[in-house]
Structure 1
Amino acid sequence: MMKSMHETHNTQQPAIPGYLIFMLALTAGMAVASLYYCQPLLALLGNDFHLNSATVGTLPTLTQAGYALGLMLLIPLGDKFDRRRVILVKGLALAAALAFTAVSPGLALLLVASFIVGITATMAQDVIPTAAAMTDSRQRGRVVGQVMTGLLTGILLSRVFSGFIGEWFGWRSVYLAAAAAMLLVTILLWRALPRFTPASTLSVGQLYRSMFSLLATHAKLQKAAVAQGLLNAAFSAFWSTLALMLYQNFHLGSSAAGLFGLAGAVGALTAPFFGKAADRFGPQRMTRIGALLTGVSFLLMLFAGSAINTTWYLPILAVLTVSFDMGVQMCLISHQTIIYNTAPHAMSRANAILLAGVFIGMTSGSLVASQLFSHWGWQAVIAFATLVSTLALLLRLLPERRTMISDSVI
């Protein structure tokens, strides 16, 4: 018989089974992977539908737009409704959207399907607060880190999976396989996940409005959203211009930039360690270490830029890419631990606010970096990344302000 789990402010929770942590990590990875399947398939899609590069490029854009909309409108609902039901409904909807993509006969339906895939792929961000809600606050960092490993691995492997399957079996096979896998994992979650008592009694309209009160009354949430936004601005600035720098300075193609992307594997593999460290040493301390590691990495890149045309620049850049990626991931996991412990009654809304900060940082970082690179080159981009990551460190070093508690956010 399905058990029910009450979300309370009590830090004492029974240990979450290891198999369930694995299933949640797998679900997060599979859901977020749906956002990236199309990227290696754009050429195949363009040939199949006779589209130019500009038109076919709208597919990943629409998918990301759907994801952004889902983050703001759907993620907060995890506090209003049974988390299990939210995840299962989204899982079925995502499986249907992936199948719909696979059988789309033309561009119009393909665009609609891509948008729906983006919206429903936000179930990845429902899984993380669900795992946190099932975990004792003293072990929350470890569990969040393990689930984040699944999410980050999904991002890394999604392009490899879709590229290989698409080349040998066609792009439709990618989405059919993904739809079947998502349906299977949703059925498994239906059997394994307990029901959750909703954390909030607010109406849906009040729930959305309460996010402003939540942000205004929780200083730790404010600091987490702004600091992570700054770090992700640096992250996005680097990655959005790296391929251009490699081509202009070293005449290297996109495959070289892809190899640098393997740095993300380090962040994925070390995520559980960062979570355990947040539990042991405190997430506030870990955010300071992570921000310091990120800032120092970009500062060393700035110094190394004086020798950008030498043979040893690229090895140094690769090492520093690994170190700054580790710093950003360390901060993200620690910030998630902070917000879940700060607002246990509003984990989904707090997660939506943190992700809004991440999204704003990523978008603004990419926009600023494109202008800096166009007018002043790669060194200007790295200087910007150094500046904003240093600001994040200074913000984390500020003393914590007392949080005001308001019943209106519950």
Structure 2
Amino acid sequence: MSLLLNDDQKLLIATLKKYCKKNIPIERIRELDVHEEFPEKEMRDLAEMGFLGVPFPTKYGGMEGTMKDLTVIMEELSYHAPVVATAYIMCVVFGGKSILSYGTERQKEKYIPELNKGRIKFALSVTEPNAGSDIANIKTTAKPNGNNEYILNGSKVFSTGAHVADYLLVLAKTESSATKNRGLTMFLVDKKSPGIEVIKLDKLGMKAVWTNEVFFTDVVVPAENILGTLGNGFYHLMSTFGDERIVGAAVTVGYAQKVLDDALLYSKQRQQFDQSISEFQVIQHYLAEMQTKINASRLLTYHAAELRDKGELAIKETSMAKYYSSETLTFVANKGMQIFGGNGYMMEFDVQRAWRDAKFWEIAGGTTEIQKNIIFSQLKMR
């Protein structure tokens, strides 16, 4: 796939690969998973190397990179350290790119340079117990108090990384009588504010990046912390989700490629009936299917990123990349488990972690079913 990359992108990948091989060995990934430890050190390292600033303009301390640049970085990072790539999305895509897309100039100058330096982290708090895919049905409210402030009350669930975040991007209802997708506003909420409680949820995979419930009780948010325009939070959030789906697809591509490579190596080493299992046609077919789906996922993801770089919304292509790539990771993880056999079911082998993590990506950022709904809504006759 190197023909699809320019020289700058190849250099970014080579630099990141060198760092990951030296500083994030597989033992570290296992440790993060077992201890459910957020990759603080790795995020600081990426900041020092300038990688957190890839998608931001140079005037904010960034590298002026494209969506395609961000995509290839996420793929490479996920190949070595999927949980670090997830932490990157949490901070850079949810936080930094949202501020860049619809924040004020003051907000951009205040937050993006600090993010690039690794000094602050962000998390997204949108989903609620009764408002998942139906985001417009949220109940969290933000009411003005007459002092150029809003009072935030409500709760959120499935807020990835809220426990370590310095700021939460919170969607709240600001106009109770507005039509369904109107009257919702995004807020940047300082997590040190009184009245915020974060509770960890126990989940199957992606354990190093916690998922949390967040409760807001009379939390005071300055009006200057409105992110975007009042009442248009739903539409701003769709921009954030578009970015998330592309880079999330890239994460699943990189992760799936690593599972395939590990399974291929194992199949050549594992002996059964006086030959390596790679000599059995069924194993060969598994591996061939895995690589074909990965390549297709990669092409879908790169295409969506390139369209975004041309200024297109690429709604259909973004959802295609997200849905197909996440399902590919699940397929690859399942086949990988089958190739490893009984060993794959043992915690000492890494394929079990990929199998646990894979389902996360079919749900996070909009379920497969939601992506198919979006794709259908965008279909047109030629």
Common fold by TM > 0.5? no
User: TM-score with structure 1 length normalisation?
Assistant: 0.31
- Using the size of structure 2 for normalisation, the TM-score is 0.33
Q: Between Structure 1 and Structure 2, which shows a larger proportion of strand residues?
A: 2
RCO (CA 8 Å, sep 6+): is it higher in 1 or 2? 1
